[in-house]
Amino acid sequence: MKYLRTSLHEAHCIFKCKVEPNATIGEIKSMFHKSHPQWYPARQSIRLDPKGKSLKDEDVLQHLPVGTTATFYFRDLGAQISWVTVFLTEYTGPLVLYLMFYFRVSFIYAPKYDFTTSKHWVVHLACMCHSFHFMKRLLETLFVHRFSHGTMPLRNIFKNCTYYWGFAAWMAYYVNHPLYTPPIYGEQQIRLALIIFLFCQIGNFSIHIALRNLRPPGSKTRKIPYPTKNPFTWIFLLVSCPNYTYELGAWFGFTLMTQCLPVAFFTLVGFIQMTVWAKGKHRSYLKEFRDYPPLRSPILPFIL
């Protein structure tokens, strides 16, 4: 069995090794890593064809279309970082940054406002909601989510953190501003917004739990999600990615609560991104499962 390296400079790197027919790609990656320590397994993309799809770690050699001698192509995916690390970093930022604005730490607003508190109770409520949201995300990252891929490219952490941290600072600046204007319809608006927000937080959490339970610990299996006894999961009847639906709802609630244009803008951008992801996920479901329920839409029932 040999490897050929495909690279810009068309160099060849031949790595010969003898393996059992029942060896997995994952095991081969470990062997390759031993002789080429700079390419840890997460960085390796092994394929049968230079332009083909990456083979999975679980794929077994004898089930692949190869003879007694197999030639694979290797591609360096670049420096990788674990999903957990990225999530923890990108979510801790907003949590901390928002609180800095809430407590009106120095150099943000005019000095006479340093370490003062807002006179509007909705601002305190918004802080609690925002902080709760990101603490929930951190805890879910640590205890709930089961990731199919261990890693993503390193440059993603800079991109993602810029997005989350940037928007969090922008939103927090206005909501906690000394010249903040509370919602036009006052208590009614805030109460409705809070109900929507909490409903969607519970919903989003329910979906995360349901998705986790689809997958046994340590596995990467994929199954069609179905409604469970929890009423918040009944939305699976109409939507493929209700976690995104609820997430959109929660941010919509937060927008209503704060009546702040930057928050609305953040909600809109998030909506666009989640719709792209939902459509992709929906398409994969349809491709993988022939009996996929036809009534379901990617993110918004019947609409999108």
Q: Which residues bind to another protein, rule: CB under 8 A?
A: 174-175, 177, 179-181, 184, 258-262
- C-alpha distance from residue 71 to each of 55, 59, 105, 242 (Å): 13, 15, 60, 42
Min dist. Cβ of residue 179 to another protein (A): 4
Shorter beta-carbon distance to another protein: residue 83 or 174? 174
Min dist. Cβ of residue 260 to another protein (A): 4
Shorter beta-carbon distance to another protein: residue 109 or 199? 109
Query: Token pair of 22, please?
Result: 């029942």
Shorter beta-carbon distance to another protein: residue 169 or 238? 169
Distance between CA atoms of 246 and 241, rounded to whole angstroms? 9
Q: Is residue 246 packed enough to be buried (19+ CB in 10 Å), middle (13-18) or exposed (0-12)?
A: buried
Query: Token pair of 91, please?
Result: 């979510």
Shorter beta-carbon distance to another protein: residue 14 or 179? 179
Min dist. Cβ of residue 178 to another protein (A): 9
Min dist. Cβ of residue 186 to another protein (A): 12
Residue 132's CB is within 10 A of a number of other CB atoms, namely 14
Instruction: Single out the residue of 281, 278, 214 nearest to residue 248, CA to CA.
Output: 278
Min dist. Cβ of residue 9 to another protein (A): 12
Shorter beta-carbon distance to another protein: residue 175 or 210? 175
- C-alpha distance from residue 227 to each of 52, 93, 260 (Å): 36, 34, 35
